[in-house]
Amino acid sequence: MSRTKLTAVKVANVKANPTKRIEIPDAGKPGLYLVIQPNGKRAWAVRYRRLSDRMPRKLTLDGFPSLATAHKLAQVALDRVAEGGDPAAEKQAAKHNIPGAEADAIADAFRLFLEKYTRTKGGRPLRETTRRETGRLLGFRRDPAGTGKWTDSGGGVLANWKGKTVGAIRPADVRDVLDEL
């Protein structure tokens, strides 16, 4: 689709396509897109690439602010990207109540997984042996002091990915670990 500068009138007049989502780029603010769902719901999205690994990312702006406000919010997000940040990951971390620096650390993500997911899909509690084995495969063990916390065992998947962020793990990294199992 050609890039045209969006105006408030153009934004109001764009009709939804009942069969597919529409994304209209705004030439007035590169990276900003008007997204219209088939049901007519509208949103603003900012598309960018993370500086760390050049992976494409999309940040959906909360609510449906005016065009001028969307421009300002997009600029704030793009400034954050220029500083090396990842606004989409930060928004996701805030949504799940994960503190800032811990949001991307793989060890913290694994630990959170082990603490949060304690039930089967059917709602039954996981057996302790299943939880211990999952922890072992990820590179954790229960704290020997008996606190119930998960501590680094020095092995498992964590040994291969220690120090990496969740966003830095590529499909090839996952394949390498699976090949070792």
Between CA 177 and CA 181 the distance in angstroms is 7
Q: Please tell me the pTM assigned to this model.
A: 0.56
pLDDT, tens digit (0-9, with 9 covering 90-100), for 123-136: 888 888 998 899 89
- CB atoms near residue 86 (< 10 Å): 24
Closest CA to 113 of 105, 55, 175: 105
Between CA 8 and CA 106 the distance in angstroms is 43
Between CA 114 and CA 131 the distance in angstroms is 7
Regions of the chain with pLDDT less than 70: 1-2, 96-104
pLDDT of residue 36: 94
Binning the chain into helix, strand and coil, the percentages to the nearest 5 are 40, 20, 40
Can you give the residue ranges of every domain in the chain?
8-95, 101-180
Q: In the CATH scheme, what architecture does the domain 8-95 have?
A: 2-Layer Sandwich (3.30)
pLDDT of residue 39: 94
pLDDT of residue 76: 94
pLDDT of residue 2: 61
pLDDT of residue 99: 54
pLDDT of residue 42: 94
